Structure 1
Amino acid sequence: MDDLIHKLQHKVAGLTEAQRRIADYIVQNPMEVAFLTVDKLASKVGTSTATIMRFSAAVGYSGFSELQKELQSNMKHKAAPQTRLEANLKHSNKSKLLHNHVELQFQNIQYALDNITEETFQHIVEKIASSRQVLCSSVRSGRPVGEYLSQGINRLLGNCQYIDADKSDWVDELVHFQSDDFIIAVSYPRYAKRIKDLLEAAKSYGVEVLLITDSYSSPLTKYAQYVLPCSSASAGSHNSVVSAIFIVDYILSALAINDPERTKPRLDQINHMLTKMSYHTTH
């Protein structure tokens, strides 16, 4: 954080009035800015996203994401849930909490859509469908995303399993992985070391990785061939999984629709077995 403040102080004389407002907001709210989308920051400061980008360049960064990456790197120890809650309490309005929550989640989803191309989606869907086996893994706040995606892929294709990276079971599985297999990992701040261990091992085995994380500035992106940036910003203290669930739900839909000759017979067989077991209640 000291390095960033030094840069801001050194450059302040050459900044416009709007850019100085941005600098002031960052200095006063570094933890909050570290996890804001550029649109949200622009709204809070009362300026445009283009001004945020020009400001980032003016203080020596290639873009806002690089500035934010430095903030996140310097403030990892402050990114605890209670600290996020403290930051959100400063700007929350309880009477408008539902409205603000909905607005924030729309922004989270839009952030993902703005940063993921259709070509990337297509490559990921094709990779999952063509893989011999798929391993989904996550920890803690990423678990709902990993489990949901794993169950959906396995129901459609029968080639996926979920393993909690906090357990060592993934080691037993990974030693048998080959280059035609695929790993999907989910990790949000404060980026669990167990996920990093898994991805390092995957890289050593030549297994390609899809990483679902909060942004391209995540320290885990260097291990992945594919990255789906899904903002985890919330109005409270937790990592929100709303945008990630939205994105992986699309992936599951694409898998089902793109290859019905493969997915429909499997769904029919599963339904037949469940019906035979009287699995679903009729009352």
Structure 2
Amino acid sequence: MNAAIRSTEELRRDISEIVEGGSPQVSAFAAWVLDNYQEVAFRSLRAAAGAASVNPNSAVRLAKALGYAGYDSFRADIQSALRENFVPYSKRAHALTRRSGADTWESLRKATNANLAAAFSPGMRTLLATCAQELVTARRIYCIGVRSCFSLAHYFTYVGAMAFANIVHTPNEPGGIMDMVSQAGPRDIVIAITYAHYSWEVVRGVTIANECGARVIALTDSMASPVARGAWKVVPLPMAGPHLIPSLAPALSIIELLLAEMVLRAPDAERRVHDFEERIKRFRGYVLSDPTTGR
């Protein structure tokens, strides 16, 4: 029988007891879980055990010691706990007003460094390399994001389209996402970017993409995210910290890393970027085409 859904505090209490009293391997995995809820939420059984340097059986034994039928139900509770922990933006703003300037600065610095370390982890590189390999051979690549995530989607498509003919520019007019994604098919990939609060337009776009048979790469904050369900790949966005909204700086780094991995696999990318630059220079789109001469 599965354990009842636990709150974050209940999970932490119960897991901490196993850290203290479990067998060495199970205790080691339990200790790792306490510091890596997001990793548990996003990773498979084998991937999580590998990241914690324990045998997969130890992960299953932890789940059963906590009263779950298996690892999947344990992971589902972790996902629910993370969803429960969502902090509204207004409360984030309120929390910032209660901090000192020096404390805020230091907390933001530490959180940003930790987020970027996660973005540049070996596991992330492997995941992005897998995505890049399929993206460069896709018929069309669509990237959708609205509100704060529009800038990320726009950056990916604007910069990416310099090097790749199969990238479709992100729409900015009402209804544009549905119009665009409804044209997708099995040879296309839709990159969806959203986090809590999850934007309705992006969630609806992913639903349409799935119905059209396109593969979805979800850049999101949790496996509990509605765009993660049924996605071909889920790219976890490390967004922790006392920011006014969840931090987008690591998400931009991940997009830059993904573009770099794509260029590594595309011999024609250099020529296309060169041709793009020459067109803009020809029509004086840059104020200074050559900063060394001022012309």
SS at 1:220 equivalent: coil
- Give me the whole-angstrom Cα distance separating, in 1, the residues matched to 2:152 and 2:238: 13
Pairwise mapping of residues 153-168 of structure 1 onto structure 2 (< 5 A)?
153-164=160-171, 167-168=174-175
Q: List, as ranges, runs of 4+ consecutive aligned residues in structure 1 with deviation greater than 6 Å.
A: 16-19
- Give me the whole-angstrom Cα distance separating, in 2, the residues matched to 1:104 and 1:272: 40
Larger CA deviation: 104-113 vs 150-159: 104-113
Pairwise mapping of residues 23-34 of structure 1 onto structure 2 (< 5 A)?
none
The residue number in structure 2 matching 1:198 is 205
The residue number in structure 2 matching 1:280 is 286
Shift in CA distance, 221/94, structure 1 to aligned 2, threshold 3 Å: same
Determine whether 1:126 maps to 2:128.
no
Determine whether 1:71 maps to 2:81.
yes
SS at 1:161 equivalent: coil
SS at 1:222 equivalent: coil
Instruction: Return the offset for 1:257.
Output: 3.0
Determine whether 1:15 maps to 2:17.
yes
The residue number in structure 2 matching 1:85 is 93
Which consecutive residues of structure 1, in runs of 5 or more, have no partner in the other structure?
Answer: 20-32, 39-48
More helix by share: 1
SS at 1:203 equivalent: helix
- Residues 25-78 of structure 1 show CA distances to partners (whole Å, capped at 9, x for unaligned) of xxxxxxxx9x9868xxxxxxxxxx99xx99x856557498644422344465xx
- Give me the whole-angstrom Cα distance separating, in 2, the residues matched to 1:94 and 1:16: 39
Pairwise mapping of residues 200-279 of structure 1 onto structure 2 (< 5 A)?
200-260=207-267, 262-279=268-285
TM-score, normalising length: structure 2: 0.71
- Residues 127-157 of structure 1 show CA distances to partners (whole Å, capped at 9, x for unaligned) of 2111111111011121221111111211111
TM-score, normalising length: structure 1: 0.73
Shift in CA distance, 124/158, structure 1 to aligned 2, threshold 3 Å: same
Pairwise mapping of residues 36-75 of structure 1 onto structure 2 (< 5 A)?
57=63, 59-60=66-67, 62=71, 66-74=76-84
Shift in CA distance, 222/17, structure 1 to aligned 2, threshold 3 Å: closer
CA RMSD for the aligned pairs? 3.7
| Matched residue count | 251
Shift in CA distance, 265/81, structure 1 to aligned 2, threshold 3 Å: same
